[in-house]
Amino acid sequence: MTTIENGSEKRELAGKRALVTGGSRGIGAAVVRQLLDAGAEVLTTARSASSTVPEGAAFVTADVRTRAGAKAIAAAAQEVLGGVDILVHNAGGAQPYKGASAIPDEEWQEALDLNYLASVRLDSLLVPGMQDRGSGVIVHVSSAAVLAPAGPFLHYTAAKAALENYSRGLSLELAPHGIRVNTVTPGRTATPGGEATREQWARLDLAPGRTNADDTTPLGRDGRPDDIAHAVLFLVSDRASWLTGSNLVVDGGEFPRG
């Protein structure tokens, strides 16, 4: 959103410093583009550099699954941005298995590291700076799969469910410090990661009725990365200044909830 102040154009997030994990493609890249369009300065991350990192964003290579990765990202945020006003935890995902008991131990740990503990670790490094400044906004990206947990993805949905619970609890702890914390929960969205996962799922050869890899949503289409990014941008803007601890489900009506 652009407003005119004293005859000159002011972009909504001008002067804000934003960090987005997993911004090299898919939902994360759309969030980065929309933040840049809104005037924010943006640093994004992924395990590998790619030509699809939006132009205009600074980029750091790091694996969010490890404490060392979180530390590298926090150090880059300090060096490049000088602090973080907007923190979007987007990196996530998991590969499906034939059922809960087929998920190897190390995949449970990996799903927890990527989809839950990555946020906990990075928040613990960046929240103190927000507390010092008395302001900040955090968005955790969950998944509508939490609302219909299924065997092939239980490692993923259990980790995202933990993330949602953590996000809500953190919002209560940080509200007195002027920091808002919310969750965005996407439904099936057309991204490189989402498409690859659904293809793997369809190939698992599950019994009829045990996969919805081919379904669509009540609104008749899958989500686009920008559909999810619009929700993130709203939550990080001052238009959402009285919203904390919320979970915005953006899923084309597939899993309606209040």
Task: With beta carbons less than 8 A apart as the criterion, state whether 23 and 32 touch.
Answer: yes
Minimum CB distance to ligand NAP smaller for 172 or for 196:
196
Q: What φ, ψ does residue 41 adopt, rounded to 5°?
A: -90, 130
Q: What is the Cα–Cα distance from 74 to 71, expressed in whole angstroms?
A: 5
Minimum CB distance to ligand NAP smaller for 12 or for 25:
25
Report in angstroms how near the CB of residue 155 gets to ligand NAP at its nearest. 12
Task: Determine whether 233 is exposed, middle or buried from the number of CB atoms within 10 Å of its CB (0-12, 13-18, 19+).
Answer: buried
Binding interface with ligand NAP (CB under 6 A): 21-28, 45-48, 63-65, 90-93, 114, 141, 143-144, 186, 188-189, 191-194
166 is catalytic: no
- Give the residue closest to ligand NAP by C-beta: 193
Look at the alpha carbons of 204, 205, 206, 208 in this order and tell me if their dihedral is positive or negative. Answer: positive
Minimum CB distance to ligand NAP smaller for 12 or for 36:
36
Minimum CB distance to ligand NAP smaller for 12 or for 114:
114
Q: What are the strands, taking DSSP E only, across the chain?
A: 2-5, 8-11, 17-20, 41-46, 58-61, 86-89, 136-141, 179-186, 247-250
What's the start-to-end Cα distance of the chain, in Å?
26
Q: What φ, ψ does residue 176 adopt, rounded to 5°?
A: -65, -15
Report in angstroms how near the CB of residue 81 gets to ligand NAP at its nearest. 18
Minimum CB distance to ligand NAP smaller for 94 or for 170:
94
Q: What is the Cα–Cα distance from 32 to 21, expressed in whole angstroms?
A: 9
Least Cα distance to 197 among 229, 257, 157, 255 occurs for 157
Q: What is the Cα–Cα distance from 203 to 211, expressed in whole angstroms?
A: 10
DSSP 206: P
Minimum CB distance to ligand NAP smaller for 61 or for 78:
61
> Which residues are marked as active site?
156
